[in-house]
Structure 1
Amino acid sequence: MNKMSTFLASLISIVLGMLIGAIMMVAAGYNPLEAYNALFVSALFQPYDLGETIRTVTPLLLTGLAVAIAFRTGLFNIGVEGQFIVGQMAAIIVGLKLPLPSGLHAVAAVIAGGLAGAIWAYLPGLLKAVRGVHEVIITIMMNYIALYLSNAVVFHLLAPGADSTEKIPDSASLRVQWLSDLFGGARVHLGILIALAAAFVMYVLVWRTRLGYELRAVGFNPLAAEYAGMNVKKSVILSMMISGAFAGLAGAVEALGTNGYLPIMNDFTGIGFDGIAVALLGANTPVGVILASILFGVLEYGGGNMQFEAGVPFEVIRVVFAAIILFVAANIVEKIFHSRRKKGVKTNA
């Protein structure tokens, strides 16, 4: 499909997903119009809520970019969640243990998060390139390693015996008072600027550089790319590391901007997995990922308020997420377009 039909397919998938959510609400005895009104109003129409929505969008945008760039190069990076976790762990370690002046401290912590994510993604990239190990298998396993490693670092090294680290100093924080005041005291932070810059970097890298051309060529057809003289193994490793760097940045900005500390986690954050949905809906393009992350951020933050204001369980929003991704992943809308085009051709003939 062309860009316009891809956009329409994504838009129709969103509408169908929300329609399924509405049907569920009606079946459970809730008013879907009241629920969706509460969702969007609570997420967008008050300065504080708008700021919190932007904060929710920030890590989703970065994890969506991480998944998208891997998809573009023919890789399925399920390990974004683990790379997110090691990114926030590295950022907090630098924030707590490396004394640096204000400004430089935050920059160093963000860079550390990105590097940690890239290094964590190096192993699955290497195994894929050298030994042919499927990246889905190894990245899923490394997600659990990242989770338990982070907990061990907190419990045994950073905060022995405690369930979370101390707060990072203000010099390492991405929160600035003027930005918080602009949005009524919300936890919005400078990470949104980093995320938007990352989207621009992805666009330039993938579509405006020789490296990006090689990465896409390897994604389309590794054998043809190798025949053309491209280093397929190097491209696979680089693609995973760039993807991991975006995921690590997501963890860093979430840790330095939203939380300010690293807790012991009983389960995954889910942000890395939501990035898969964002990338799919955004058709693996920077602009598409930005728009998709905004939608999912609104649903994520507004869904919590919808639960309180309209009494609708938050799980309904997760069903909407799942339905949207089902329609996108199954290419249902595209198949409808294709069948209508074929029917029109037959009629004309």
Structure 2
Amino acid sequence: MSGTTPGAAGVERPIDPQLPRMSGPLTGQEPPAPPKANAFIKELMRGSIVTTILAIVLAMLVGGILIALTDEDVQQASVYFFARPGDTFVAAWSAVYGGYEALFRGAVFNARGADFAAQIKPLTNALGFAAPLIAAGLGVALAFRVGLFNIGARGQMLMGAVFAALFTFHIDLPMWLHLPATLLAGIVGGALWGGLVGVLKAYTGAHEVILTIMFNYVAYYLLLWMIRTPGLLQKEGTNQPISAATPESARFPELFGPDFPSLDWGFVIVILATLLVWWIIERSSLGLRMRAVGENPHAARAAGISVQRIYIYAMLFAGGLAGLAAMNQIQGSVTTGFTATIDAGIGFDAITVALLGRSRAWGTFAAGILFGMLKAGSFSMQAQGIPVDIVLVVQSLIVLFIAAPPLLRTIFFLPKTDAEKAAKARAKAAKKAVAA
């Protein structure tokens, strides 16, 4: 539709219908709203999923640089870099590609396998490694949602193993009774150990970080004493600090048969535990109270929620899930007898898994599988001559970038969140006020 616009001497000139109408503060017309697709893309780039993916990608890039720097062929080619730089780049590419190809081959799919079972065996190994990580990570994540920093998963795992061995290893029961009894004993042991922290936190105000650190030491040395003492947990006929083997009737059956020994029914139980934690936190009334306490305990108390009781419930659940992780160890992967290191660092890795999963049940599940893959693939990388510590560096970098979203957004030029923009505006205003 054509129109007119006032000219310089009051003469109206026709508006060219080919040109868009002017808008902005000087014309008195608001600019058109941005397309919905643009808003969707902007929110997507701000989201946690993209941030997590980019954190993994960036960590892998840094890991690739470290692989190249530690490779002998790259080091030899770098001596004459200025004469033939292509050799250095080719050697670096070969080292990085070979390392990550070995990681994939050892964690997901081995194309060199003789048959399909051999080809997918690495994936089952990764899922087997992931099961206890997921269980312990769920316990840490649940405590995080209540505002508790539970770093005592190690001690809770150890006490779960103590309870299971002390009360069920020396009894003779059919499998349909012995297996769930052992599983329940381990969960109860971890829950009681975690619940004790919750009671002390609730009624004495003691900080859970200090409590869980000390309880880790107590559990470790208590278990060490018990497996060194004949008549308690020490294996008969030996003076070594090791427990008796897990009874055959208390072991998890293999999920897909003897071709995949690392994957057992413990992984199915972990899936059910993930579903249960998701329902409790996101759908139940108890979960609503837990989230309220985690957001603001003072407001929750004013709303009539018993903060002390929620703390106890949270630590009971967290300890029970750590006990489930211990049962995945002694009823699944370590059945010949366990030592005081039965936790295998899982209790502390669970903190990383929970952080990567952003304290959400299914996020923690996915993070546990990722770390299980990294652990399974690290053995293949080590066979390639790559230090296994590279995988640990990658894990640490993933958590570092996840914990610092502004850094990640700066590196990849992602749009800032509204909270970051507001914080920047406040800082700028404060700076102007000080200058004035």
Q: TM-score normalised to the size of structure 1?
A: 0.91
RCO (CA 8 Å, sep 6+): is it higher in 1 or 2? 1
Correspondences of 1:323-342 after superposition (within 5 Å): 323-331=397-405, 332-333=407-408, 337-339=414-416
- Higher mean C-alpha displacement, 248-257 vs 151-160: 151-160
Query: How far apart are the structure 2 equivalents of 1:199 and 1:2?
Result: 26
Contact 2:125-2:260 at 8 Å conserved across structures: no
1:163 maps to what in 2? 241
Asked whether 1:179 is paired with 2:256, we answer yes
What is the CA deviation profile of residues 279-307 of structure 1, one whole-angstrom value per residue up to 9, with x for unaligned ones? 11111112111111111000011112210
| Aligned counterparts, 1:1-349, within 5 A | 5-29=47-71, 31-45=95-109, 46-156=119-229, 157-159=232-234, 161-176=239-254, 179-181=256-258, 184-265=259-340, 269-308=344-383, 310-331=384-405, 332-333=407-408, 337-339=414-416
In structure 2, how many angstroms separate the alpha carbons of the residues matched to 1:231 and 1:3? Answer: 39
Structure 2 CA distance for aligned equivalents of residues 86 and 340 of structure 1:
43
**Larger deviation, residues 163-172 vs 234-243:** 163-172
Contact 2:44 2:50 in 1 (8 A): no
Question: Structure 1 unaligned runs (5+)?
Answer: none
1:188 positional shift? 1.6
Which stretch of the first structure deviates more once superposed, 26-35 or 280-289?
26-35
Quick one: distance in 1 between partners of 2:51 and 2:346?
Answer: 24
The structure with the largest helix share of the pair is 1
Q: Between the two proteins, what is the percent identity of the paired residues?
A: 36
Cα deviation code 1:72-108 (max 9, x no counterpart): 1111100011111111222233441222211210101
Number of aligned residue pairs: 340
Please give the alpha-carbon distance, in whole angstroms, between the structure 1 residues aligned to 2:342 and 2:107: 26
Following the alignment from structure 1 to structure 2, what is the Cα–Cα distance between the partners of residues 229 and 337? 41
Q: Distance in 1 between matches of 2:164 and 2:180?
A: 10
CA RMSD of aligned residues (A): 2.2
Q: For 1:249 and 1:267, how far apart are their aligned partners in 2?
A: 13
Q: Which has the larger radius of gyration?
A: 2
Greater CA deviation, 110-119 or 25-34?
A: 25-34
| Post-superposition offset of 1:3 | 10
Amino acid in structure 2 at the alignment position of 1:180: G
Instruction: Give deviations 1:219-248, integer Å, cap 9, x for gaps.
Output: 100000000000000001111111111011
Equivalent residue letter for 2:68: V
Q: Whole-Å Cα distance in 2 between the matches of residues 52 and 100 of structure 1?
A: 30
User: Scaled by the length of structure 2, what TM-score is found?
Assistant: 0.74
Q: Which moved more, 1:46-55 or 1:333-342?
A: 333-342
